[in-house]
Structure 1
């Protein structure tokens, strides 16, 4: 579980790390301007203390905006960064020209858009005026203007990107949680709908049979026969719910997957060229597809998915291929450590004289491939059954 959690958190951590490295790099460049001015030891110590204070405030703005928003008075840190940006010009001069870009980035991050962009422009102009007052030539002022704008936009963009990556991963985790909750609700609903009537009928008939035994034994025997039939149907219904065998459709599952994954930003290509299928084969392949999608959402970070099914004679081959990099257990025959989901799928596919393979292909994509034989599925149809384990061999 900890390894899975680490995998899910990797992208936000990488985005945050890259942003932090870029911020520190920009501040490192700013420190070279201070050293190039060759101030005295006391001035260097004071300048680096101001630099670290400014970096701390900028990291707070880039990575802890909810915390900043909770501070009172509001935007006190932005006021502090403004003072740290412009006050040192009085004794550091041009050596401090790298700082206004960070203030402009913080302005874009913390202020509403209607205020942020005018304030951004004002800060750029103020920096130019300060530089002109120090006797800088126009070409140097133009260079500083471009550098200030680029620094602000890069810091702003990376900070927002880190937030968006974290938000996308939180949303994805929430969608997966909702999918699991929905499946639990479906299980509870199906169990209630399937067994509620059967158990009530069994209870009533048992009470009736209890009263009929002394006086009408033949009628009681008829009731017992009906009770037995109802109990067998209830057992079949329980198996249907717990194993997911409720006349599932591969085409319906693929359509549902394509619709759901589009909301997650996963590119999905569906190609089903297998025609109508016997109920048993349709249900098994739909179950394979559902389990494959569940594993992909829970254990990988896929961005593209391909669902393809085609028929070759009496064999239907379904492949579910994605570019995720999550951990997938190995199954027998593929050299993988079996997980319960893959193991269950293997059993179901083999009951239709088929085979299941899961693993990473040579091109680096993960593939779940199931093949089932239609003649085995058709034997189920001839027997009037849909569950493979109840079909004739």
Structure 2
């Protein structure tokens, strides 16, 4: 949990409290102010802990908390004397934390005199010079512990954010690949099933052949689902070009194909494969096409895939393509490419993408 470093930092800080409170309690017992002094010390520790938690959670510097600490550090000293000097280390640490937060050199210098300021008192009232000298050092130790806890908290939050982004990205990849791979197969399977049904009714001998192809598509669909689940890339642009022509011609669409660029990078080939699937799927879903022309060309190191078909019954817009075109736009945008869809006169539709050839 992101709050764990804060808890650990606070617990680590509180673990050093006995080093200050034990000698203070011993001194209070000698002065006769044990009950009153213990109550004030408890309030001071609570205020200091509240200040430290505010620093760790980046809620800003609580100046009123520093003011209360200063008041509870120096006012009781006038009653109990040198016994109260060790608690000045808490004020020193708070000022160092505030100096770091505000990038203030003056506050840092002020933190160094929280303990030594007691040296200016009459010598008769000072029984332990050591605590006055070491208070800034103890404040520096506290500053180090709290700073490390804050850094651990930020690193933990960053790690959680990275993990969350990775999960979102993987979920996005899964849904995108599932849609692009399986959605295309399902569209083809529906058309094949309709064709088989018609051939069976007509007692056509081709029904058995179409049924075999349908079973092959089902096996391919199962393979695609496994590939998506394991994040494997199994696409082949050449195989997809051959499949596109065979599929279009099997449903009575005359297909003209022109390919003049080869040896594409894996990333470009993968994007073109998905684009070809999406383009062919749109032809089958949104048109009663009789002719379709597919061209894969290259000019000035810019690869262009275009699919042009007739039989468009009404104007077709990119938003009508649903999730498929959104997924495709994301894929090609990563490669610096662009997608264009245009409804032409005479009921024709042009689907075209351009992607720079990778070096």
What TM-score comes out, normalization by structure 1 length?
A: 0.51
Q: How many residues align?
A: 234
* Cα distance per residue 1:183-235 (max 9 Å; x no partner): 32222222122212111111122223333444471334333222221111111
Q: Distance in 2 between matches of 1:78 and 1:9?
A: 24
Matches within 5 A, 1:365-380: none
Mapped to 2, the partners of 1:111 and 1:59 lie a distance apart of 17
CA–CA distance in structure 2, aligned partners of residues 9 and 114 of structure 1: 24
**Corresponding residue for 2:96?**
108
**Preserved CA contact (<8 Å) 1:100 1:148:** yes
Q: Say yes or no: does 1:172 pair with 2:159.
A: yes
Distance 1:24 1:89, change over 3 A: same
Cα pair distance change 1:181/1:126, threshold 3 Å: closer
Q: Equivalents in 2 of 1:94, 1:137: separation in Å?
A: 7
CA distance in 1, matches of 2:26, 2:127: 21
Instruction: Give the structure 2 partner of residue 134 of structure 1.
Output: 122
1:60 maps to which residue? 50
Who is 1:149 aligned against? Answer: 136
Q: Which residue of 2 aligns with 1:23?
A: 17
Equivalent residue, structure 1, for 2:198:
211
Q: What are the superposed Cα offsets for residues 229-279 of structure 1, whole Å, 9 maximum, x if unpaired?
A: 1111111111222345557xxxxxxxxxxxxxxxxxxxxxxxxxxxxxxxx
Which of the residues 42, 47, 50 maps onto 2:40?
50
CA distance in 2, matches of 1:154, 1:118: 19
1:39 aligns with 2:31: yes
Change (3 A) 1:103 1:163: same
Choose 1 or 2 for highest CA Rg: 2
Runs of 5+ unmatched residues, structure 1: 248-393
3-state SS of paired residue (1:217): coil
Counterpart of 2:223 in structure 1 is 236
1:279 corresponds in structure 2 to: none
Note the C-alpha offset of 1:111.
4.8
Equivalent residue number for residue 274 of structure 2: none
Q: Report whether the alignment pairs 1:181 with 2:171.
A: no
Q: What SS does the corresponding residue of 2:86 show, helix, strand or coil?
A: coil
Which residue does 1:93 correspond to in 2?
A: 81
Deviation of 1:116 (Å):
4.4
Structure 2 unmatched runs, 5+: 235-359
C-alpha separation in 1, matches of 2:6 and 2:225: 42
Counterparts of 2:114 and 2:54, CA distance in 1? 27
Specify whether residues 123 and 176 from structure 1 end up closer, same or farther in structure 2 by C-alpha distance, changes over 3 A only: closer
Q: Quick one: distance in 1 between partners of 2:6 and 2:102?
A: 29
Equivalent residue number for residue 284 of structure 2: none
Measured against aligned partners, the alpha-carbon deviations of 1:284-341 in whole angstroms (never above 9, x if no partner) come to xxxxxxxxxxxxxxxxxxxxxxxxxxxxxxxxxxxxxxxxxxxxxxxxxxxxxxxxxx
CA distance in 2: counterparts of 1:203 and 1:153, whole angstroms: 73
Matches within 5 A, 1:296-315: none
- Cα separation, 2, equivalents of 1:81 and 1:120: 16
The one of 164, 185, 191 equivalent to 1:198 is 185
Task: Tell me by how many angstroms 1:139 deviates.
Answer: 12
Structure 1 residues 165, 242: CA separation in 2 closer, same or farther (over 3 Å shift)? Answer: same
